[in-house]
Structure 1
Amino acid sequence: MSKVWIADKMSSRAIEVFKARGIEVDYRPGLSDEEKLAIAGDYDGIAVRSSTTLKGPLLAAATRTKVIGRAGIGVDNVDVQECSRNGIVVMNTPFGNTITTAELAVAHIVAAARMIPQASASTRSGKWEKNRFMGMELTGKKAGVIGAGNIGAIVCDRLKGLHMSVFVYDPFISDERAAAMGVSKVETVAELAAMVDVLTIHVPLLDATRNLINADIIGRMKKGSIIVNCARGGIVDEAALYEACKSGHLRAAALDVFAREPATENPLFELENVSFTPHIGASTDEAQENVAVQIAEQMSDFLLNGVVRNAVNMPSLSEEEQRLLSPYMLLAERMGRFIGQTMRPGYARITAHFEGHAASVNRKPLINSLLTGLLSGSMEEVNAVNAGMLAKDRGIEINETARDTSENFATMIRLEVEGDEGTRSISGTLFDETRPRLVSFDTCDVEIAPAGNLIFLQNEDRPGVIAAVGRILADADINIGDFRLGRRSDTRNAVALIQVDSTPGEDVLQKLETLPNVLMVRYAELGEM
């Protein structure tokens, strides 16, 4: 009989689910570090929320564990890479608390606009300062939403219900998806900040989003506007927010998350026009029960039947399928990564074409690998398991075709991506059924290994371009490892794929782009084979 340890406080419904499925369960939250270390090796599964950190010695002690279930979205408290290395499946519950978190953001917006926390504190102290708390009506105002994924999309819907005009910055939704949501898409955070009365953030904390809302962005906002952050601490520069609220440039701000948590001390606490909650975005009875039941069901399915759902670190494949599909999955991931790094986001539709032998294999993992590559680097914890879900959340239409024959190769995958930048395509094959190769880009036949640092260049087919490119790279002390050329059949423009031994700086790429007759320069890092 499988045995599970519930290590953090969780709804009793989780216990009921485990027992009903015939799984032994120990509900033991709140143990000391020493007590946790002593029992960690006794369980096939460990269910946590955010209190227990499964890293280092504690994870090393979990020698029997096959699955870790996080009742919630974030897995910051789990060493996912080490779990993967040890063959432990890590699951989360990405949908259990989306409504709850969205509702808190909307509540903060209303409370900040009407100064509800301050008015409540004043009234509780025995004062009757009716004229002091002059609020802002939200109807007819402009709301800016950064991130239109699961939570952000719900916030958009709720704000429309308040009769606000909603504008969105999210480079991963297309114009078509924005129109379906009934919102207006803008191209930059700076543009969004300058036009809205309320700015609310709903993106993960990544290198690209750290201090996204900085002094420059806040300075662009209208005097008397509001900022709300219920996403992750560190996205809003708290020092810049302090200055803007203290000076009166911002009417108000509201935070559920902080750069350092628990936030028992913070300079923002001294400002009356900033209100706070202690990271309670998921803290409702309904959300807690939802995530507890979901994680218990998912872990039970895995322990009893080997079914993997909402894993963040592995696809669901048999050993034989894994062996057969590994070269295809690598090829597909590299194809998606190339397009994702050389085509600006805002994807509306992707179509995966499988020809020859590729049409006869299990294609779902290959589509997930294509999506993983396409979306990686810009979204939190994208992998072959959740990539399809993330794509659909952003309104990306996913299509596939299959045919038993291929004109030029025994097996081939072709990826077409349609979006705000037009349509791009890439094709790849396997040499000797094991070695991935890229064989065409858009309408140009160019063959190269999908590895390393690639400069992708399109130019008018005129003399002197190749020599000029070589001079710029040489001046930057960048060695060329491979140089492949071709011509587009539709425009007769030339295409170059240049594999370089070191990373070119932005200044080098800009010099290449300003060369005469050069039409486009993009750069992709595909990694080692």
Structure 2
Amino acid sequence: MPKVLISDKLSPAAIEIFRRRGIEVEFRPGLSPAEIRGIIAPFDGLAVRSATKVTRELMEAAPNLKVVGRAGIGVDNVDVTSATQRGVVVMNTPYGNAITTAEHAIAMMFALARQIPDASASTKAGKWEKNRFMGVELFGKTLGLIGCGNIGSIVADRAVGLKMKVVAFDPFLSAQRALELGVEKVELNELLERADIVTLHAPLTEQTRNILSRENLAKLKKGARLINCARGGLVDEAALYDALKSGHLAGAALDVFEEEPATDSPLFALENVVCTPHLGAATAEAQENVALQVADQMADYLLSGAVSNAINMPSVTAEEAPRLKPYMALAQLLGALAGQLTAARGSAIRSIRVEYEGHVAELNRRPLTAAALAGTLAPLMGAVNMVNAPVVAKERGMEVAETVHERRGDYASLLRVTIASEDGERSVAGTLVGDSRPRLVEIKGIAVEADFAPDMLYVTNQDRPGFIGRFGMVLANAGINIATFHLGRSAPGGDAICLVSLDGPLPDPVLAEVRALPLVVQATPLRF
């Protein structure tokens, strides 16, 4: 039974989902980092919000950890790089609180435009300062969106309904999507020059950190207003203070800050600043939605291998997972065979090519290629899985390629893994028998029909009479039982292949005897 730790406050509904689906769950919010590290070892999953910092040190204390689920959008509290290196899937819930956060941005825009917080405080204090609080209309104003993804697009829709003009800066926004939203796609400098109100809806990355720097804040038109309900760190807060103090900007509404909790900031002293304590996702509906979503996503992954909303792994839908599972096993086994044969030669890998033919070519190939890479690299580098295999290959300068063949061959589906190394190429191919059982059908261009077994011995030899008898006698004299015996050759008298399934690992002295036989070119023990 998989085990999940919930280390931040989540709706009780999430706990119920885990338990109903047969996953053991512990709800332990409020623990210190040291306390979490002290108990995390046996858990397969970790569900968090923003309070828990999922650091490299935490993951090093979690040898069984397979997935981190972030109930929310931002994953800046998760060391995604370290998670990827350790093969841990990182998921978020980008849709569960999108409407709530967008509505908060709109509410902040109204509060800023009509000075609602100060007017409320003044009225409650017994004053009636009707002439003091002169606001501005939103009608006809230009709203500049920095980021037009899930939340930004909802804000755009609401702003268009308010009869505002909307311009958007987002490198990933297509012209067609902009047309559908009714927004104008522009570059950042043009947005800063035109916008009456700027609202941020971008993730915090190295590319977006301080995207509203002192220089860019100075480009905003005099009297512009700024809203940030996305992430602290997108705005240079010291520069923002100066721009507000000088009167260059008319006001700012902030729900997020560089350091949180933000209990002391120069911005708090300014009358033209509206602040809330990171309330973007703080509605009953959003809290329930993200909790349910993260629980379902993590349960799907732990129970079936389905991957959704992952930051560091290709998505596999719950519908795809059962169809992909046997092909992923086949890809991993073929990669493991090719990788072990290459490792036995001590040759550095230059490239890995995965070829698809037949029905398998019509499936989601990214996880299949990742599985093949994991199988290939694990014999060479140890702890490699589908999550970190593409990164490991890239870090080591290995070229990875996919090839899809439209031709139909002898098999309904065929998957081939080819490794190019310093001493040449090695390819292996396989298919599924009965749509579920991986079967090897080719090694280095030689037809070999064989099932995979936990322990096997691969032998290449010169095709001469008497070899099989001598080889069999070496194993028999050592008391080694042969489970299955598979043969193949390129041509009579040419190169031959012998693939033997054994009941257990082959002892080193027996391997040495096999390698010493006349006509043997290579003898490699295999483990699957």
TM-score after normalising by structure 2: 0.62
Counterpart of 1:42 in 2: which secondary structure?
coil
Shift in CA distance, 79/193, structure 1 to aligned 2, threshold 3 Å: closer
Look up the equivalent residue of 1:321 and give its one-letter code: A
Query: Partners in 1 of 2:199 and 2:252 — Cα distance?
Result: 10
Q: Could you give the per-residue CA deviations for residues 118-159 of structure 1, whole angstroms, max 9, x where no partner exists?
A: 111212222211100000001111111111111110110011
Shift in CA distance, 116/312, structure 1 to aligned 2, threshold 3 Å: same
Q: Whose radius of gyration is greater, 1 or 2?
A: 2
Shift of 1:227: 0.8
Question: Any conservation in 2 of the 1:355–1:404 contact (CA below 8 Å)?
Answer: no
Shift in CA distance, 127/228, structure 1 to aligned 2, threshold 3 Å: same
2:309 matches 1:310 = yes
Query: Partners in 2 of 1:369 and 1:101 — Cα distance?
Result: 36
Counterpart of 2:4 in 1: which secondary structure?
strand
2:152 matches 1:149 = no
Query: Partners in 1 of 2:331 and 2:360 — Cα distance?
Result: 12
Shift of 1:384: 9.2
Shift in CA distance, 312/157, structure 1 to aligned 2, threshold 3 Å: same
Shift in CA distance, 250/86, structure 1 to aligned 2, threshold 3 Å: closer
Query: Partners in 2 of 1:183 and 1:325 — Cα distance?
Result: 47
* The one of 331, 334, 349 aligned to 1:321: 331
Query: Partners in 1 of 2:221 and 2:313 — Cα distance?
Result: 46
Shift of 1:176: 2.3
Question: Any conservation in 2 of the 1:146–1:200 contact (CA below 8 Å)?
Answer: yes
Query: Partners in 1 of 2:426 and 2:115 — Cα distance?
Result: 65
Listed as ranges, the matches of 1:480-499 within 5 Å are none
Look up the equivalent residue of 2:406 and give its one-letter code: R
Look up the equivalent residue of 1:79 and give its one-letter code: D
2:110 corresponds to which residue?
A: 110
Question: Any conservation in 2 of the 1:256–1:279 contact (CA below 8 Å)?
Answer: yes
Shift of 1:221: 2.4
Look up the equivalent residue of 1:219 and give its one-letter code: A
Query: Partners in 2 of 1:355 and 1:403 — Cα distance?
Result: 11
Listed as ranges, the matches of 1:405-420 within 5 Å are none
Question: Any conservation in 1 of the 2:356–2:404 contact (CA below 8 Å)?
Answer: no
RMSD: 3.3
Q: Could you give the per-residue CA deviations for residues 406-430 of structure 1, whole angstroms, max 9, x where no partner exists?
A: xxxxx9xxxxxxxxxxxxxxxxx99
Query: Partners in 2 of 1:156 and 1:16 — Cα distance?
Result: 36
Query: Partners in 1 of 2:138 and 2:335 — Cα distance?
Result: 53
Counterpart of 1:69 in 2: which secondary structure?
strand
1:295 corresponds to which residue?
A: 294
Shift in CA distance, 250/368, structure 1 to aligned 2, threshold 3 Å: farther
Q: Name the % identity.
A: 54
Counterpart of 2:40 in 1: which secondary structure?
helix
Shift of 1:94: 1.6
Look up the equivalent residue of 1:75 and give its one-letter code: V
Counterpart of 1:41 in 2: which secondary structure?
coil
Question: Any conservation in 2 of the 1:48–1:71 contact (CA below 8 Å)?
Answer: yes
Q: Which moved more, 1:123-132 or 1:210-219?
A: 210-219
Look up the equivalent residue of 2:221 and give its one-letter code: K
Query: Partners in 2 of 1:355 and 1:35 — Cα distance?
Result: 47
2:95 matches 1:85 = no
Unmatched runs of 5 consecutive residues or more in structure 2: 317-324, 337-353, 371-385, 389-402, 409-413, 428-528
Paired residues, what number? 360
Shift of 1:105: 0.8
Look up the equivalent residue of 2:407 and give its one-letter code: D
Question: Any conservation in 2 of the 1:360–1:404 contact (CA below 8 Å)?
Answer: no
2:364 corresponds to which residue?
A: 364
Q: Which moved more, 1:156-165 or 1:223-232?
A: 223-232
Unmatched runs of 5 consecutive residues or more in structure 1: 327-353, 371-382, 386-399, 406-410, 412-428, 435-529
Question: Any conservation in 2 of the 1:355–1:403 contact (CA below 8 Å)?
Answer: no
Query: Partners in 2 of 1:99 and 1:115 — Cα distance?
Result: 24
Counterpart of 1:239 in 2: which secondary structure?
helix
Look up the equivalent residue of 2:143 and give its one-letter code: A
Query: Partners in 1 of 2:335 and 2:174 — Cα distance?
Result: 31
Shift of 1:237: 1.8
Shift of 1:362: 5.7
1:241 corresponds to which residue?
A: 240
Look up the equivalent residue of 2:265 and give its one-letter code: N
Question: Any conservation in 2 of the 1:356–1:404 contact (CA below 8 Å)?
Answer: no
Shift of 1:213: 1.6
Q: Could you give the per-residue CA deviations for residues 44-66 of structure 1, whole angstroms, max 9, x where no partner exists?
A: 22211111222244322222333
Counterpart of 2:104 in 1: which secondary structure?
helix
Question: Any conservation in 1 of the 2:42–2:62 contact (CA below 8 Å)?
Answer: yes
Q: Could you give the per-residue CA deviations for residues 184-219 of structure 1, whole angstroms, max 9, x where no partner exists?
A: 121x21111111211111112222222222333333
2:269 corresponds to which residue?
A: 270
